[in-house]
Chains A and B, each alone.
Chain A
């Protein structure tokens, strides 16, 4: 569900290591502050980004996060696209279930991240990769 127009040039952060997950959080935080998301919304978006960046690293075998500011005419927001060329997700419904994990985590990454953002879109092809787009709008 990608509505709204892009404002400015998106910033891309490669996700190849633990430290890159930290860098994604910092980039998302700075962008969220620039569009004046409330503190709670900043916190939710950065937390969601942290979960998704870690998924990109662990399950996708690495990839990237593209962070941009968007507007729907009324509100501004932050959009992040997480992309990897990993194995893809065979059963998406299962992967979006609270507590389901194949990686030894808590199984809250994907389902929790979805709850923390306003728009959540996931495209995955087995053997080709996964692309997740999330947006958080200012109130």
Chain B
């Protein structure tokens, strides 16, 4: 079984899926990612699917599950690089990719992760009623 590599870049884990995944490979990726999030304390996961020529219901469900697991482990998931034909097919298939944030490419995905972390800081500061400004 092939395994999808997970790269750490700063506070982000980057997964670029380059192989036609079997279902087992997809499940393994889910588990590997959860472990890496905890081991590294990263707050963002970017899954690059530029090389995927299809996303079927199994892979779609895997993406949703990864997003949910990351959330529980205090990390934000962004799926980037979906091909137009894949997007059209997904919609027709009836898959809504619930709870998944998407961006057009890795760069925008990283911006999205950074922005959502900044929002979290703002909210946390507001909750405490302090006047801390979140400029990290």
Contact = CB atoms under 8 A, between A and B. Distances in A.
A125 B136 CA distance: 64
**Chain A at the B interface: SS class:** helix
A116 B89 CA distance: 7
Interface in B24-72: 24, 53-58, 60-61
A43 B89 contact: yes
B101 to A, nearest CB: 20
A43 B85 CA distance: 6
Interface stretch (A1-9, A14-22, A59-67, A78-86): A14-22
Nearest to B20: A22
A43 B88 contact: yes
Given A50-B54, A108-B95, A112-B95, 6 more contacts: A47-B54, A47-B93, A51-B57, A54-B56, A105-B58, A105-B61
A98 B94 CA distance: 8
**Chain B at the A interface: SS class:** helix
Contacts of B24: 18
Interface string A76-95: 00000000000000000000
B92 interface: yes
Given A50-B54, A112-B57, A106 B95 contact: yes
A131 to B, nearest CB: 21
Interface string A28-44: 01000000000110111
B116 interface: no
Contact of B94 (A18, A29, A44, A115): A115
Given A40-B85, A43-B53, A43-B88, A108 B93 contact: yes
Interface residues of B, number: 23
Nearest to B83: A43
Contacts, number: 71
Interface of B: 20-24, 53-58, 60-61, 83-86, 88-89, 92-95
A21 B85 CA distance: 21
Given A39-B85, A46-B53, A21 B22 contact: yes
A40 B22 contact: no
A46 B53 CA distance: 9
Nearest to B27: A18
Contact of A18 (B22, B57, B88): B22
7 contacts: A21-B23, A39-B85, A43-B54, A43-B88, A44-B88, A47-B56, A116-B92
Contacts of B86: 43
Contacts of B61: 105-106
